[in-house]
Amino acid sequence: MEFNNGAELLELCQKTGFPISQIMKKREAEFSKISEAEVEKKMRKALEIMRNSAKEPLKNPKKSMGGLIGGEAKLLEKHRLEGKSICGSVLSKAITYAMAVLEVNASMGVIVAAPTAGSSGVVPGVLFALQEEFDLPDEELLNGLYTAGAVGYLLMRNASVSGAEAGCQAEVGAASAMAAAAAAEIMGGSPQMCLWAATGALSNLLGLVCDPIAGLVEAPCQNRNSIGASNALICAEQALAGIRQIIPFDEMAEAMYHVGRCLPFELRESALGGCAGTASACEKSCRIFGKTEE
Amino acid sequence: MAFISLFEVIGPNMVGPSSSHTAGAASMALLARKLFPGEIKSVHFTLYGSFARTYRGHGTDRALLGGIMGFETDDLRIRDSLRLAKEQGIKYSFSVSEQEDAAIHPNTADMEIEGTEGEKLFVRGVSLGGGKVKIVKLNQIEVDFTGEYSTLIVSQTDKPGVVAHITRVLSEEGVNIAFMRLFREEKGAAAFTIVESDEKIPAEVLDRIRENPLVSDITLVQL
């Protein structure tokens, strides 16, 4: 059960009557030569790691290795619990959890790269916000992860998910497309709607540069994960409402890759341009790397 | 095109912050650990390129040392590997290479391992991104393998008949070869045959391959 692009994936869904999640699960079992139960067991483990990394910083905030971030998720949680959120509960939770995962990542905790470590907050942010707000069982979240995996696989295969190669639009952009498709399927969308959501997410973040301060996976990466999660929810909502995309998923993936290859070296993870190139960022960088070893 | 697994997209499960600079570093060192048969007394790491510039902020040093101590990429002990190594009496040191050679991948580390019996192994690993790695140098010989398969590494003298001997044993033991390559320093000198297989390689294979007098050593990294 192999598919090489979004069009083939939709065709498979139509032919078999399966949602994207089931196609992806069966594909994994077939080609990795393991049972679907084993695939699920591995995915449950990933989901548990995601859950822990999304929730732990709310209890125990930690400073990052480079000291640029730490404690943001707890602040957001407090703000929401005080009834002050202007984003509403789903969005507020999604950005809280997305930032929490990046805090865990940046302080050498355990996370699941999805698709990368630098974009690892987006998918769990969206999934756990939906779970709490709509009272979803873990099984639905697992389906979301398979669907997210299908979109991520297509972007890995036909474009790029590497910031060094194609900018943040490829990392957080891909994560956002994955989360958008996952949200659309979980909330009852058709396979076509899932790909509309993913396409919208890619298109909204097109051109986003990768410019980590001091070259560390801390800032602006953590904030970018919250925009990836928000964008995913927006695009899923639009797709579920029946808003179509003019450009098919495969063409959008190609466009994203092409834009990425046009980005100058300074804006592809080299820590030379964008946020990283500002005077304040350079000063931070000097302070971090001037530090003597413990 | 090689199969891309669901768990390469949703994964790896890893200690942060970077799949290339942390998880990749741990993976390559774990692979080096598996290639070293003895007990490790000391290890020296040389870091190149981006590894050299940003290793502290990415925990590359702790990840490398953690891998050498046998920790998987999602093992939280990586965080404390410097302290744990001291407690276990493993000596370690790091140096940074200024060399900016286009031939050296930006995320490269050399690992010089010494065992308690004085045995030595040099391994050069490269982190390719997304947690994927490969080994590109073993002792003085340039090689190329990833550890994603069961891998058999045969040290031999580059003389006729050795490769034929290896393939005969593998075929008789029913091992299906995915990839097989010969790497050598120069004609007639030391060489490695590296065999990668999708399935587990039975231990009897090792004893039978050793029967050839031109084979000096053999290591198996099981999937």
- pLDDT tops 90 at residue A52: yes
Are A100 and A55 contacting, i.e. CB atoms less than 8 angstroms apart?
yes
Contact status of B62 with chain A (Cβ, < 8 Å)? yes
| pLDDT tens, position by position, A59-107 | 999 999 999 999 999 999 999 999 999 999 999 999 999 999 999 999 9
Contact B57/A289, CB-based, under 8 Å?
yes
pLDDT for the residue A89: 97
- pLDDT tops 70 at residue B148: yes
| pLDDT tens, position by position, A130-153 | 999 999 999 999 999 999 999 999
Q: Is A136 helix (H, G, I), strand (E, B) or coil?
A: coil
Spell out which residues of chain A touch residue B50, defining contact as CB-CB under 8 Å: 215
Rounded to an integer, what distance in angstroms lies between the CA atom of residue B107 and that of residue B89?
28
Q: B18 to chain A nearest CA, in Å? A: 6
Residue of A nearest to B82 (CA): A294
- pLDDT tops 70 at residue B140: yes
Rounded to an integer, what distance in angstroms lies between the CA atom of residue B94 and that of residue B106?
17
Contact A216/B23, CB-based, under 8 Å?
no
Q: What's the average model confidence in pLDDT over A259-268?
A: 94
pLDDT for the residue A291: 53
pLDDT for the residue B101: 73
Nearest CB partner across the interface for A31, out of B1, B3, B57: B3
CA angle A81, A84, A87 (to 5 degrees): 100
- pLDDT tops 90 at residue A114: yes
Spell out which residues of chain A touch residue B9, defining contact as CB-CB under 8 Å: 114-115, 148-149, 152-153, 156, 178
**pLDDT tier at A38, thresholds 50, 70, 90:** very high
Q: What's the average model confidence in pLDDT over B93-116?
A: 89
Count residue pairs from A and B with Cβ separation < 8 A. Answer: 129
Rounded to an integer, what distance in angstroms lies between the CA atom of residue B31 and that of residue A292?
30
Contact B16/A162, CB-based, under 8 Å?
no
Q: What's the average model confidence in pLDDT over B78-93?
A: 97
Q: A82 to chain B nearest CA, in Å? A: 31
Q: A217 to chain B nearest CA, in Å? A: 6
Spell out which residues of chain A touch residue B59, defining contact as CB-CB under 8 Å: 65, 108
**What is the overall mean pLDDT for chain B?**
93
Are A103 and A64 contacting, i.e. CB atoms less than 8 angstroms apart?
yes
Spell out which residues of chain A touch residue B74, defining contact as CB-CB under 8 Å: 49, 110
Please report, as a single letter, which amino acid is at residue A292. T
Contact B130/A215, CB-based, under 8 Å?
no
Nearest CB partner across the interface for B54, out of A39, A161, A215: A215
- pLDDT tops 50 at residue A294: no
Are A12 and A3 contacting, i.e. CB atoms less than 8 angstroms apart?
yes
Q: Residue B200 burial by CB count (10 A; 0-12/13-18/19+): exposed, middle or buried?
A: exposed
Q: Is B150 helix (H, G, I), strand (E, B) or coil?
A: strand
pLDDT for the residue A293: 40
Rounded to an integer, what distance in angstroms lies between the CA atom of residue A66 and that of residue A88?
32
Q: B88 to chain A nearest CA, in Å? A: 19
Contact B17/A116, CB-based, under 8 Å?
no
pLDDT for the residue B37: 87
Q: Are strands B141-145 and A110-112 parallel, antiparallel or unpaired?
A: unpaired
**What is the overall mean pLDDT for chain A?**
96
Q: What's the average model confidence in pLDDT over A179-188?
A: 98
Tell me which of B208 and B106 has the higher pLDDT: B208
Rounded to an integer, what distance in angstroms lies between the CA atom of residue B46 and that of residue B95?
5
- pLDDT tops 90 at residue B53: no
**pLDDT tier at B1, thresholds 50, 70, 90:** low
- pLDDT tops 90 at residue A183: yes
Nearest CB partner across the interface for A153, out of B6, B53, B62: B6
ipTM of the complex as predicted: 0.96
Share of residues in chain B with pLDDT > 70 (%): 99
| pLDDT tens, position by position, B170-203 | 999 999 999 999 998 888 889 999 999 988 899 8
Contact B76/A109, CB-based, under 8 Å?
yes
- pLDDT tops 90 at residue A57: yes
Q: Which alpha helices (DSSP H) does chain A contain, by range?
A: 6-16, 20-32, 36-59, 72-81, 89-106, 122-134, 138-158, 163-166, 168-186, 191-204, 221-240, 249-262, 279-290
Suggest the residue from B4, B10, B94 to mutate for an interface test with chain A (most A CBs closer than 10 A).
B10
Q: Which alpha helices (DSSP H) does B100-220 contain, by range?
A: 162-172, 204-210
Suggest the residue from B5, B9, B73 to mutate for an interface test with chain A (most A CBs closer than 10 A).
B9
pTM, full prediction: 0.92
Q: B58 to chain A nearest CA, in Å? A: 7
